[in-house]
Structure 1
């Protein structure tokens, strides 16, 4: 199993559709005893939260977010934790909205300390 996500900051490697997470979004992860949760914000997302579980290198979580236009949305995501050659972690994600139509894939990667925006 890859190392813990606890205390790590991750960001998408590419922008999604408008109103969704993008390269300006920062995820601040926490992990303890198989539980995983994160706060996120940036870009079109004012505030977001995710909560779920980890079994080995598989994450299974639900997310909810408030967007800049004042709307909220929620969904489900299953991710695989991958360790990159440089030691950083990557999450390869399959997600689906539950509050609206749509699904897709995305990749988020661990940032270095200088890349993480403060105040989330």
Structure 2
């Protein structure tokens, strides 16, 4: 994660996401920054990824909600997700940006 309107992103330990996809079904996990452990599941149609998520917070408690991400391509070929999300019980809409980290050789 490189930016988020929901919280400041720790550049030394940002939230890192791992995505998998099969036949349009998307799932994965994430951790880092303010999140101890998170999971999500959803679907991809074209360049739109729609998920539901829940995560445990380092400060205690949990947070969950829904999001829709737009898949974009960086000039160097990496993927970039621009996500609009909303936490359960909160009408505030947030935006985050995640950029693909190349796999180690």
The verdict on a shared fold, with TM-score over 0.5 as the criterion, is: yes
- Alpha-carbon distance between aligned partners in 2 of 1:50 and 1:21, rounded to the nearest angstrom: 20
Aligned to 1:3: none
Question: Scaled by the length of structure 1, what TM-score is found?
Answer: 0.76
Greater percentage in strand: 2
Q: Cα RMSD between the aligned structures?
A: 1.9
Question: Scaled by the length of structure 2, what TM-score is found?
Answer: 0.86
Aligned to 2:76: 86
- Stretch moving more, 88-97 or 99-108: 99-108
Aligned to 1:33: 23
Aligned to 2:52: 62
SS in 1 for 2:77: coil
- Alpha-carbon distance between aligned partners in 1 of 2:59 and 2:32, rounded to the nearest angstrom: 13
- The 1:15/1:80 distance shift into structure 2, 3 A limit, reads closer
User: Gapped runs of 5+ residues in structure 2?
Assistant: none
**What is the aligned length?**
102
Indicate yes or no: 2:76 matched with 1:71: no
Query: Cα distance, 1:14 vs. partner?
Result: 2.1
